[in-house]
Structure 1
């Protein structure tokens, strides 16, 4: 079984107190765990995919422009990985098993070649970390399920704005998508 850790949107705009669309304390609370889980996966030889939201300034045609304030704008510090995960990325970014990929939609699979890259590497299991549990992580998990991947969720390395939203997502991962919940 070949695994890939998919780190979703753990950026300044989604995590920092002054982020443009921050989850705040719940996202900050997973900082140590998300960095540790990513480092463990890297040291185990797993592939690491940083799937990072990327928007164009003033893109009125993107559906999120009607729902959320501008965030993760291309070329801004809002797209930088937050805290310890950002520090780890600086250490490992040039390794051949580490990838940074931009995404425009909730799911890491939507509009990207992530599925092709995973299949080229014979990856059968995706391990999901990041934010938000009930939006981008959930939509990525749904697409992974529909594409036939085994799914593992690092429960203490994902977060949402509210505990209710987080618990909904964990329930959905386990009972609807058959994901293995790891804590």
Structure 2
């Protein structure tokens, strides 16, 4: 069976110093590990997927509008993939094993075709990287668990706003979702 690397929300708004909802330096330091994993997956003919927050400004139907400042507005620089990871995607986006799509909820599975995409390719193992460990990475992992995927969290490829949030999420992945932590 194939496997997929999900690189979640690695965008300017979540990673850049001046991003509207930035994790900042902890997220910026992930780039080399994320690119190493992406290269490894692609070289093994596995899949590299970029579930990316995509919102509309002041959308009254999205609950995040009330919780956070405007971020990842579709078509803005803030929604573009950050730095070297963005360059990696630009170089490989035509590869049939690379896929990027917008999501409008924390979970990459909610309101998207991700589950169908994975099942059509007989993918049963998802590695989840990116930001934020205790928000979108967590909710994606919970959905993956509920859909019976094997979950791997490469700890050097996830980051969030606080060490406490990161620690809680890693324990939850391991102890509640049965994820493998690498």
Equivalence map 1:147-162=2 (5 Å): 147-162=147-162
1:61 Cα deviation from its structure 2 partner: 2.1
Name the CA distance, whole Å, in 2 between partners of 1:44 and 1:80.
Answer: 26
CA deviation after TM superposition for structure 1 residue 175, in Å: 0.6
Contact in 2 for aligned 1:39/1:88 (Cα 8 Å):
no
1:41 CA drift (Å): 1.1
**What does residue 2 of structure 2 align with?**
2
Counterpart-to-counterpart distance in 2, 1:16 and 1:94 = 25
TM-score by length of 2: 0.98
- Structure 2 unpaired stretches of 5+: none
Contact 1:7 1:128 survives alignment (8 Å): yes
Structure 1: give runs of 5+ residues left out of the alignment: none
1:172 maps onto 2:172 in alignment: yes
Specify the alignment match of 1:101 in structure 2. Answer: 101
The farther-off stretch of 145-154 and 32-41 is: 32-41
**Superposition pairs of residues 132-151 of structure 1, within 5 angstroms:** 132-151=132-151
Q: Helix, strand or coil: the match of 1:50? A: strand
TM-score by length of 1: 0.97
C-alpha distance in 2 between matches for 1:89 and 1:4: 15
Q: Which residue of 2 aligns with 1:18?
A: 18
Counterpart mapping for 1:16-55 below 5 A? 16-55=16-55
User: Equivalents in 2 of 1:140, 1:34: separation in Å?
Assistant: 17
Structure 1 residue 48 displacement after superposition: 1.3
1:95-136 Cα shifts (integer Å, max 9, x gaps): 011111110000000000100110011111001110000000
* Runs of 4+ off more than 4 Å: none
Provide the rounded CA distance (Å) in 1 between the counterparts of 2:49 and 2:30. 18
